Amino acid sequence: MEKILVLGAGRSAGSLIKYLLEEGKAADWQITVADYALQLAEEKVQGSHIATAVAFNINDEAQRTALIYAHDVVVSMLPAKFHPMVAGLCLQAGKHLFTASYVSDDMRVLDEAAKKKGLLFLNECGLDPGIDHMSAMKVIDHIRKDKGLDLYAFESFTGGLLAPDPNDDNPWQYGFTWNPRNVVLAGQGTVKFIQEGKYKYIPYHRLFRRHEMIHIPGHGYFEGYANRDSLKYMDVYALHNIQTLFRGTLRRPGFTKAWDVFVQLGATDDTYEMEGVPEMTHRQFINSFLSYNPTDSVELKLAHYLGLDREGPEIHALQWLGLFEEEPVGLMKGTPAQVLEQILKKKWTISADRKDQIVMWHLFDYKENGKMKRIRAAMVATGESASQSAMSKTVGLPLGIAIKRFLNGEIVSRGVQIPILPEFYQPILDELQTQGFQFIEEEIELD
């Protein structure tokens, strides 16, 4: 009997746990789901005879040690900052580890020690990172290994969005399908990428003013803006001679210009705490970033400060969020970013019956027989509800499939890994396709 420990039973863990429960019945697995909120863990195990829910505090050293030592495989769905703590204990206890999070420096240094103990620490096996790696490497390996050609350009975009709904009046066409704090802080820092052999940089205050339009047949147009560091994928994907390498995020048209209002105001700053937060209203929050004028309205000052049309789409989007209302924020303290997050949650927290949508798009350029060719690949997946979301499925299912194949002896890699090898990506993508997560590819010749 294999014993699997899942740490964390939040929104993104639902589909993973459901998959493990279904597969575990025939495989003779015993699954423990541990979360700070016992009720949440109990909801996820669904009364299964092969699963147990436990209340768990990651900061309780004795408890986390006992739980990890009692299992064969540990799956961490905790916030990323806790992964190194869990990984260190897994190394000490001789347990395999699976996560959907990025490989941190603290995790990376465990590679040799994990290999010596014959342990697999698989990271970045969710949506983004995860499915993006696997779907990209499938095509990259086809071009490099099967065709023996070099890749000239690679672009990749992913968006966690709301599914189109003709009855929805939300001008942003967006809601929180993942961690709200990460949404508010997205893009901070300096963006780095390479375009036509030239290194390019975009500072945060210009990021949302530079986007490109991407058309996906059957699904319309999307805005794509750059992620922070595309250059690191030169090493990850072994693309050291590539001329263009760009990774980004997708949003519906109009989102970036409206979001740029918050950036230009300083409302996404997370470096200091604001004064007067307990009594602050939405309108006062916006006004706190504008100049003092006892006669001009907040709307007029904002439009004048940022050069906006008072009747334009950006002001309309802010009005829909209630930013100009005298509604209490509802916090006792907070940074500008935390106050903004609190306000956004009131309108961007999706209802139980609202469907989300994952959109992923890749572009690959290469030269064959003297002609430049392009492969475009797109995946669009729509959730069933807030509890059975496309986000939860695309984060959790790849992890579940990887765990199943590992326990079946079909994965031989050890050490700190991400799923860029065929033994990971091929079977995971194949099974995802049977569950409706399919990439549609098209190849064209460029002039």
Tell me, what's the pLDDT at 74? 98
- Classified as helix, coil or strand, 409 is coil
pLDDT in tens, 209-234: 999 999 999 999 999 999 999 999 99
Task: Tell me which CATH code domain 2-123 carries.
Answer: 3.40.50.720
Tell me, what's the pLDDT at 132? 96
Q: At what angle do helices 390-407 and 14-27 cross, to 10 degrees?
A: 30
Tell me, what's the pLDDT at 296? 94
pLDDT in tens, 410-422: 999 999 999 999 9
pLDDT at 316 over 80: yes
Checking DSSP bridges between strand 96-99 and strand 73-76, what pairing results, if any?
parallel
**Does this chain's domain 2-123 share its CATH topology with 131-258+353-389+437-445?**
no
Percent of the chain whose predicted confidence (pLDDT) is above 70: 100
Q: 56 falls in which pLDDT band (50, 70, 90)?
A: very high
Tell me, what's the pLDDT at 275? 98
In this structure, whether the domain defined by 131-258+353-389+437-445 belongs to CATH 3.30.360.10 is answered with yes
pLDDT in tens, 349-358: 988 888 999 9
Q: Where are the domains of the chain?
A: 2-123, 131-258+353-389+437-445, 269-348
Q: What are phi and psi of 163, to 5 degrees?
A: -70, 145
- Cα-to-chain-centroid distance, residue 204: 19
What mean pLDDT is reported for the chain? 95
pLDDT at 250 over 90: yes
**pLDDT, average across residues 383-406:** 92
pLDDT in tens, 284-302: 999 999 999 989 999 999 9
Paired with 445 in beta bridges are 373
pLDDT at 149 over 90: yes
CA distances from 296 to 260, 285, 300, 301, 373 (A): 23, 16, 6, 6, 56
What's the pTM?
A: 0.92
Tell me, what's the pLDDT at 12? 84
Tell me, what's the pLDDT at 388? 82
Paired with 440 in beta bridges are 378
Note whether 356 and 390 are within 8 A (CB): yes
Note whether 428 and 402 are within 8 A (CB): yes
**pLDDT, average across residues 94-106:** 96
